[in-house]
Structure 1
Amino acid sequence: MGEKGKLARIVNPILTPVTHPLLPNASAPGQLSVKQIHQCLSEIGDLPAKKFYVVGEPISHSRSPALHNTGYKELGLPHEMFRFETSDAAKIHKELLSDPNFGGAAITIPLKIDMLKYVDELSNSGKVIGAINTIYPIGKGKFAGTNTDWLGIVNSFIRNSAPAKISSGNGLIIGGGGTSRAALYALHSMGCKKIYMLNRTASKLLDIKKDFPASYNVEVLESLEQIETVADVKLAVSTVPGNLEIDSGLLTKIKAVLAKGGKESFLIEAAYKPLVTAVMKLAKDEFHWNVIPGREMLVNQGVVQFGLFTGFDAPYKPIYDAVVSDN
């Protein structure tokens, strides 16, 4: 097709041969990269720029803009993600969702439940978990909501050599916040026969247990005597704040239950600051668990989110590097 055929390559919607910047040269004259095609589509008005947001409070530390904006840049997409700090879901509905250029939002605390009321289509994960971290338009004035945190957990396990489905063994969740619900959904999907839950306040966990089907086989650990009966813990997720000192009573229980796993066990830390948390250090140094840092979960849930927002696979390495660059 040559140079004169570039426009045909740009506007053709299917089976367009492309080149890549890492190749020494294009395999045919006039061949373009995906990034170049997207940039040209944007220039001719065929790929309109969308505005994306991370919403919640506080969000000044959020790495979501770095993650998504890096992906847009790598693929030549004209979009941009901004921070929109608020704890008022109605404000997001009024100021963001009504904008025709709104492309979607990553939802953080304290809005993961409050934003449910503005969703017209809710995924199964959103229904079961009872919270969403992603909202995006699906038609004029209509929005879909889902939870990608659970996939961030599952895919982080898999990327770090844990089995996609365990043939035997149990799961463990430390903490009782919103992420613990996503963790429960994730561990059940990975085949955990029983899921133990541990928190400073057991009443929070009992409330969570009531909200999930009996088939999840949740056991709330309230005492050291109860922990003595725990067996064969293969997968664990810590959702307690990483930057706060752990209550001494809870710490004793965490040690007791981590002793029920070992070299073939995997623990994901949901917090991504600090880079190494107290729970991570304990699991690795004292009990020889395979430990996965929180930035893995952040990136992997963001990869799923990126695909929902744009329809494209995220460039994993560039966005991972962008997320961890300040750690």
Structure 2
Amino acid sequence: MQARARTDARRAAVLGSPIAHSLSPVLHRAAYAELGLAHWSYDRFEVDEAGLAGFLAGLDGSWAGLSLTMPLKRAIIPLLDGISDTAASVEAVNTVVFTEDGRRTGDNTDIPGMIAALRERGVDKVDSAAVLGAGATASSALAALAHICTGPVTAYVRSAARAEEMRGWAERLGVEVRVADWAEAAGALEAPLVIATTPAGATDAIAAEVPERPGTLFDVLYEPWPTTLATAWSRRGGAVVGGLDLLVHQAVLQVEQMTGRSPAPLRAMRIAGERALEAR
């Protein structure tokens, strides 16, 4: 592959469908401003799986990287020259960096982003955990738990097909997983760490079951926020990690990879994200 000519202006963007709600431009632009990267820009583009290859083909040498959201995290993989072990572990890429020699390399910053968000709240190790849901984010949660959970993980799912998927991911990631029916989801709340990966409203019905002394809740949603479960958890005195925490930490890693500047300005990015959500 021929190396592409570099230009002074540098570009990056987030791709997905739908994409209008994405906070990524707010976070990345805040980082560029803080780092003094006046020649950098970051945009969002509505791109689905059918249009992904054509979009990539149209990029010139000014492009430094891309962020990927659904439904592109797996669709991008065959279009890349290589992916990291982290991305391969869950077959999902959320970050593409264009190297000086013209290669497209993929990574997954969701997994280390989850770990960093938890560590920021003092959660380095737990002896057991629970995961609510079984989608793509749940597989990333299992990959993160492979690093911080020393004992079993219980995954609460809605179907036999989802249960089989979680068992497959667990075996691949080396995580000891017990799969339970969603009807028993209230039992998840007794775990020292609960990771909720479900859509808005899915956990509302179990919010009244939060124990008197809850552990840590990691709810990956950031809009609407706080969720009913997060509110109930906080009222009981439990620690809550939110979706904005995850979004910021994974974006920090993306900025560092795309710009080559480290550390990225975590605080400035978080403040920008909080202000953007308050304005909605």
Where on the TM-score scale, by shorter chain, does this alignment land: which range?
0.7 to 0.9
Distance 1:266 1:68 in 2: 28
**Aligned counterpart for 2:268 among listed residues 306, 312, 318:** 318
Q: How does 1:148-297 map to 2 (within 5 A)?
A: 148-162=109-123, 164-166=124-126, 169-213=127-171, 215-222=174-181, 233-242=191-200, 245-246=201-202, 251-252=205-206, 259=211, 262-263=213-214, 265-285=215-235, 288-297=237-246
In the alignment, residue 219 of structure 1 is paired with which amino acid?
R
**Aligned counterpart for 1:301 among listed residues 211, 231, 250:** 250
Distance 1:246 1:75 in 2: 39
Name the % identity: 26
CA contact (8 A) 1:170 1:231 kept: no
**Aligned counterpart for 2:19 among listed residues 59, 65, 89:** 59
Give 3-state SS (helix, strand or coil) of 1:176's partner: coil
Distance 2:62 2:109 in 1: 23
Give 3-state SS (helix, strand or coil) of 1:216's partner: coil
Compute the displacement of 1:282 (Å). Answer: 3.6
In the alignment, residue 256 of structure 2 is paired with which amino acid?
G
| Structure 1 length-normalised TM | 0.74
Runs of 5+ in structure 1 lacking a partner? 1-45
- Rate the CA distance shift 1:226–1:111 in 2: closer, same or farther, 3 A: closer
**Aligned counterpart for 2:8 among listed residues 41, 45, 48:** 48
- Rate the CA distance shift 1:223–1:113 in 2: closer, same or farther, 3 A: closer
Distance 1:56 1:305 in 2: 16
Compute the displacement of 1:277 (Å). Answer: 0.7
Give 3-state SS (helix, strand or coil) of 1:113's partner: coil
Task: Give the match for residue 20 of structure 1.
Answer: none
In the alignment, residue 50 of structure 1 is paired with which amino acid?
R
Distance 2:64 2:183 in 1: 49
Compute the displacement of 1:270 (Å). Answer: 0.8
Task: Give the match for residue 25 of structure 1.
Answer: none
Bigger relative CO (Cα 8 Å, ≥ 6 apart): 2
Distance 1:92 1:255 in 2: 46
Runs of 5+ in structure 2 lacking a partner? 1-5
Give 3-state SS (helix, strand or coil) of 2:112's partner: helix
CA contact (8 A) 2:26 2:272 kept: yes
In the alignment, residue 258 of structure 2 is paired with which amino acid?
F
CA contact (8 A) 1:171 1:192 kept: no
- Rate the CA distance shift 1:179–1:226 in 2: closer, same or farther, 3 A: closer
- Rate the CA distance shift 1:57–1:231 in 2: closer, same or farther, 3 A: closer
Distance 2:58 2:184 in 1: 52
Distance 2:154 2:243 in 1: 20
Task: Give the match for residue 74 of structure 2.
Answer: 113
User: After superposition, what is the alpha-carbon deviation per residue over 1:10-53, rounded to whole angstroms, capped at 9, x for unaligned?
Assistant: xxxxxxxxxxxxxxxxxxxxxxxxxxxxxxxxxxxx98221101
Give 3-state SS (helix, strand or coil) of 2:194's partner: strand
| Structure 2 length-normalised TM | 0.86
Compute the displacement of 1:114 (Å). Answer: 0.3
Aligned residue pairs, count: 267
Which has the greater radius of gyration?
1
